[in-house]
Amino acid sequence: MSAMREHIDLKPYNSFGLSVSARYFIRVQTLEELQEAVSFAKANSLPMLLLGGGSNVLLRDDFPGLVIQMALTGITQTARTQDKVCVTAASGEHWHSFVEHCLALGLHGLENLALIPGCVGAAPMQNIGAYGVEVKDLITEVQVLDIASGAIERMSNAQCAFAYRDSVFKGPLRGKKIVLDVSFELSRSAAPNLSYGALADALADKEGVVTAQDVFDTVCAIRREKLPDPRVLGNAGSFFKNPVLSAEDFAKLQQAHPALPSFAAPGTAGERKVPAAWLIEQAGWKGKQQGGAAVYEKQALVIVNRDHATAEDVVGLAMAIIESVYSRFGVALEPEVQWIPVLENPTNIVGQLAR
Ligand SMILES: Cc1cc2nc3c(=O)[nH]c(=O)nc-3n(C[C@H](O)[C@H](O)[C@H](O)COP(=O)(O)OP(=O)(O)OC[C@H]3O[C@@H](n4cnc5c(N)ncnc54)[C@H](O)[C@@H]3O)c2cc1C
C-alpha cells in the first residue's frame, strides 16, 4: 500500500485552498490499495472522506478520519454500434484530460463539459453540468465499491437517480459507495449541442459546420474569461445551486421583481429556474469581501479565497449571502458545494448552523 501519512494539511488537496488537517491521508492508485485503505479505516473505526480533485468541497474543519485521494487511472473503449462507443474511465482520471482524450479519438458528447475541474469519479456525484449538457445524458453505468460489504457493484443510469446537481450518491447512498469507474456512451457522429444561449451566440458567426472541436474550444474560451482559475484564486466553482421555483412562487416573485430572469427547469411541471447569481448580485454582494473570502467580481455565484481565507470566513460569507437573499427575495439558496462535515439539510443551512 502506498504510504499512509498522518496529520496532513489538506490545503493542496482542495481548490478553495483552505488549510485544515486530516488525521490520516492516503493516495490510492489501484483497487487493492483502495480496499486496504477502506479496511484500515473500518478496523480503526475512522470516518472516511473520498477526494478526487477537491474542487467541489468546502472543508469546514479538521478531518478526524482517513482522507482517501482517488488516483485510479485507465480508459477503455468498446464499440456498441457503428456510431455508438462505450468509453469507461477510472475514477482518478482528470476530467478535462478525459474530455480532450475522447475528442481526439473522434468520440463526441462530452465537449460542452470541457474544463470542469476535478476527476471522473466525482462527475456522477453531483451530475456535473455546463453549457446545456448534464453528464447524466451520457453515463450508462457506474461501477462502485460497497463500503459495508466490500462488493463491487454495477449501477445503471436509472439507479443513480440523477437530477439537477444531484444523484443517489449525495442522497441515500452518501458515504456508502465509492465510485471506481464511470461508463459513457459517446457518438462517432458529431451533433453539437448549442442549446445554451451564450454558446450559440459565441458560435453564431462561425462559417461552415460547427464541429465538436469548435464547441470544445468555445466552451474553454468562455470559461477562461468568466471563471477564476483555482490555481490562481482559490474557489470551488458555483457555490450555490440555481433555485427551482414552483410556477406559483415564480409568478409572485416576478410580479415583485419584473426584471427577474429565469429559464425552464427540464423535466418539471412548469417550474422555473432562477439564476442564483442574479439574486446575489441584486442583494449587493458582487465583489464584496468578508474576512479573507469574497464574492467574485465577474461572477456572483462564485466565492473566492481572496486573502488567506479560513473555513470560517467562507462559511460566514455564505451564510450572510443566504440570509440576505432570503430576506430580500424569500428564496432559500442551497449550496452546490459539498460541505464537510456534511449538512443534513442544505435547504435550511442557516437554521442548522445557528443551533
Ligand atoms: C472553477 C470551477 C468551475 C467549476 N465548474 C463546474 C461546472 O461547470 N459544472 C459542475 O457541475 N461543476 C463545476 N465545478 C465543480 C467541480 O469541478 C465538479 O463538481 C467536479 O466533478 C468535482 O470533482 P472533484 O474530483 O474535484 O471532486 P471532489 O471535490 O474531490 O469531491 C466532490 C464530492 O464527491 C465525493 N467523491 C469524489 N470522488 C469520489 C469517488 N471516487 N467515490 C465516491 N465519492 C467521491 C467527495 O467525497 C465529495 O463529496 C467547478 C469547480 C471549479 C473550481
Per-residue pLDDT at 161: 97
* Atom number in ligand 1 closest to CA 170: 49
Percentage above 90 pLDDT, the chain: 90
CA distance 126 to 116: 12
Mean pLDDT of 108-130: 97
Q: E strand or H helix at 201, and its extent?
A: helix 197-202
> 128 C-alpha vs ligand 1 centroid, how far in Å?
8
> 80 C-alpha vs ligand 1 centroid, how far in Å?
29
Per-residue pLDDT at 207: 87
Per-residue pLDDT at 9: 97
Per-residue pLDDT at 266: 72
Per-residue pLDDT at 264: 83
CATH assignment of 5-70? 3.30.43.10
Determine the length of the chain: 355
What Cα–Cα distance (Å) separates residue 295 from each residue in 228, 235, 304, 326?
11, 10, 6, 17
Q: Could you say which of 167, 238, 262, 271 is catalytic? A: 238
> 280 C-alpha vs ligand 1 centroid, how far in Å?
23
Instruction: Decide if pLDDT at 2 tops 70.
Output: no
Instruction: Decide if pLDDT at 347 tops 70.
Output: no
Give ranges for CATH 3.30.465.10 in the chain: 75-226
The owner of cell 484530460 is: 97
In this prediction, residue 190 has a pLDDT band, given cuts at 50, 70 and 90, of confident
CATH assignment of 234-354? 3.90.78.10
Instruction: Decide if pLDDT at 284 tops 70.
Output: yes
Chain centroid to Cα 192, Å, comes to 23
pLDDT tens sequence across 241-273: 999 999 999 999 999 999 999 988 777 778 999
Per-residue pLDDT at 145: 98
Q: Is 165 a catalytic residue?
A: yes
Per-residue pLDDT at 166: 94
In this prediction, residue 109 has a pLDDT band, given cuts at 50, 70 and 90, of very high
Cell numbers placing 118: 476535478
DSSP helix/strand/coil, 195: coil
Ligand 1 pocket (Cβ < 6 Å) reads 15, 49-57, 70, 91, 116-119, 121-123, 125-126, 128-130, 178-179, 227, 230, 235-237, 338
Instruction: Decide if pLDDT at 313 tops 60.
Output: yes
Q: Tell the CATH topology of 75-226.
A: 3.30.465
| Average pLDDT across the chain, whole number | 94
CA distance 67 to 34: 11
Ranking 8-17, 86-95, 196-205, 284-293 by mean pLDDT, the lowest is 196-205
Q: Is 238 a catalytic residue?
A: yes
What Cα–Cα distance (Å) separates residue 316 from each residue in 20, 47, 85, 330, 343?
16, 26, 46, 20, 15
pLDDT, greater one: 206 or 285: 285
Mean pLDDT of 168-193: 95
> 118 C-alpha vs ligand 1 centroid, how far in Å?
5
Give ranges for CATH 3.90.78.10 in the chain: 234-354
What Cα–Cα distance (Å) separates residue 253 from each residue in 243, 261, 280, 284, 345?
12, 11, 15, 18, 24
Per-residue pLDDT at 321: 97
In this prediction, residue 1 has a pLDDT band, given cuts at 50, 70 and 90, of low
pTM (predicted TM-score): 0.94
Instruction: Decide if pLDDT at 158 tops 60.
Output: yes
